[in-house]
Amino acid sequence: MGLSNKIKELHQKRESLSKGGGEKAVEKQVAMGKLTARERIKAILDPDSFQEYDLFVQHDARDFDMDKKVLAGDGVITGTGTVMGMPVCIFAQDFTVLGGSLGKMHAYKIVKIMDHALKMRIPLIGINDSGGARIQEGVGSLAGYGEIFFRNTLASGVIPQISVILGPCAGGAVYSPALTDWVFVVDKISKMFITGPEVIKSVLGEEISQEDLGGARVHSEITGNAHFFARSEEECFAQIKKLLSFIPWNNTEKPRKITPKPPRDASKIETIVPEDPRQPYDVRDVIRAVTDDSDFFEIQEMWAANLVIGFGRINGQTVGFVANQPMVLAGVLDVDSSDKAARFIRYCDAFNIPIVTFVDLPGYLPGIDQEHMGVIRHGAKVLYAYSEATVPKISVILRKAYGGGYIAMNSRHLRADFVFAWPTAEIAVMGPEGAANIIFRKEIAEAPDPEAMRREKVKEYTEKFANPYVAASKGYIDAVITPAETRKFLEHSLEISVNKNVMMPAKKHGIPPF
């Protein structure tokens, strides 16, 4: 056989393996409203940038007639490419090949591309669409999962790890996404659970659909397992690209700086926050009023909406925003919002992204359910994360900063680099009504007109303590600034924090209140 024939043979082999599980299986995939694994990779990567490896890998299972089965690429496509010029490692499970089930060699391909990502210090994108462990391969498939989880953990905080759930992801398989930084889900397509509806029904007698148990909405709104919710795969891919534009290649780099732009609606900032601390507003409007081009990329928009997190840019530089949201549950901290904030703070810290915190909260959420769910240890995560973070940390107190909430939200005491306050700020142990009722309980009770006395004492407390100047007089606040000055103060603070260098005590690792 001459060279030309050998080349022809290679092309034929490639073509046949690239078809995945064959026409019928692909038709089924399309009928479910899903793209194929290969189409997904192409849609995420820059045109013609995909280079595939291990196309010829075959499984070595012998039992259950598996020796007679040829599985294209063993059900997973792996390779490298670029996203807006950023190099990435990528893998996509192919549901058309034996349900994308994970066998030993399937796992080996994933592990190999993960090792590559870690060695090259570039982001890893994993597309999950799999029925789970390949039962015919037994413990070999379990070993495969274990090897993946181990590498997820090694790579955590070193390279960005992105999981895209575009089909089922059940049982042990869910732990790989859970160990990665970002989980993307698509409505009606993504399904994640440890035990499915059938098992739950047989054990507990409780009936539920896959969608209601672990669909995209459930993980975006109830569990917080997902970070980005999309209505279509196309929207999901656009979100992945946008996220990658904000983050660095690895933990030794800084995010790419782009051409700075002024905020689009900067002048609005004076009118967003109502003076009356009882009235709500959307804190995202404040964020948009200070970010470049008023662009704010929100993370976990639907889960624990009483706290807002996401990325924006100030002077072309990526900033992580953490903000209480008075529009939802008065912006309180609770179990979920504490977890949400703490994890994001740790992400920013690991990847050299400065953190800007907007504070307006009445405190922690009271409730038996909250206490019994462990709001103590969950709330402690916020303190831990802010205290531990050594990236530039800037706070702006917009209005209320009461009690434990004040301390937790990147206060001076947790080593914030800069704390600014608007003239509307109230830094106190609690709101004036509550404080007056406690401090002047006796005076109020014994007054001829208790209600009038209460009003008078509330007014007295408000005038004395419900302002930023008491805290400023002690140096806990660096400057009281007008809303319109906020962007300027942030720009300057970030600029002079570029070389921030703090040494923490040497340790193997801390013991955060997980």
Partner 1 sequence: MEKKETIIFTLDDREYYTTPTKKFIQRKRYVPRDLKEISSFIPGVVLDVLVHEGQQVHEGQPLLILESMKMANQIKCPVEGKVKTIHVKKGESIAKGVVMITLE
The answer to whether 132 contacts partner 1 (rule: CB under 8 A) is no
Q: Structure tokens of 24?
A: 């019928």
Question: Taking CB under 8 A as the criterion, which residues in 90-129 touch partner 1?
Answer: none
Three-class SS of residue 441?
helix
Q: CB under 8 A: which stretch of 35-43, 236-244, 276-284, 480-488 binds partner 1?
A: 276-284
**306: contact with partner 1 by CB under 8 A:** yes
Q: Is 450 in the site for partner 1 (CB under 8 A)?
A: no
- Looking at the Cβ atoms of 257 and 459, the one nearer to partner 1 is 459
Shortest CB 467 distance to partner 1, Å: 16
Interface with partner 1 (CB under 8 A), residue from 3, 31, 139, 368: 368
Phi and psi at 94, nearest 5°, equal: -105, 105
For residues 334 and 304, is the Cβ–Cβ distance under 8 A?
A: yes
CA atoms within 13 A on the CB side of 9: 6
Sole binder of partner 1 in the list 305, 396, 421, 425 (CB under 8 A): 305
Cβ of residue 358: shortest distance to partner 1, in angstroms?
16
Beta carbon nearer to partner 1, 239 or 317 = 239
Task: Enter the tokens of residue 461.
Answer: 């407390």
**CA–CA distances in Å: residue 359 to residues 127, 221, 364, 386, 397:** 37, 23, 13, 14, 5
Binding residue for partner 1, selected from 47, 205, 475, 505, defined by CB under 8 A? 205
The C-alpha atoms of residue 184 and residue 304 are separated, in whole angstroms, by 17
Q: Is 252 in the site for partner 1 (CB under 8 A)?
A: no
How many other β-carbons are positioned within 10 Å of the β-carbon of residue 100?
28
Task: Give dist(CA 74, CA 67) in Å, integer.
Answer: 13
- Window 392-411: contact mask with partner 1 (x via CB under 8 A): ----------x---------
What phi-psi label fits residue 226: left (phi over 0), alpha (psi between -120 and 50 degrees) or beta?
A: beta
Interacting positions 320-339 with partner 1 (CB under 8 A): 326-332, 336
Residues in binding contact with partner 1, number by CB under 8 A: 38
Beta strands in 48-159 (DSSP E): 51-53, 76-83, 86-93, 124-128
Nearer to partner 1, 69 or 278 (CB): 278
Cα–Cα distance measured from residue 496 to residue 486, given in angstroms and rounded to the nearest whole number: 16
Instruction: Lay out the site mask for partner 1 across 420-439 (x = CB under 8 A, - = otherwise).
Output: ----------xxxxxx-x--
Contact flag: residue 275 with partner 1 (CB under 8 A) = no
Residues of this chain that interact with partner 1 (CB under 8 A) are 203-206, 221-222, 277-280, 301-302, 304-306, 326-332, 336, 362-363, 366-369, 372, 402, 430-435, 437
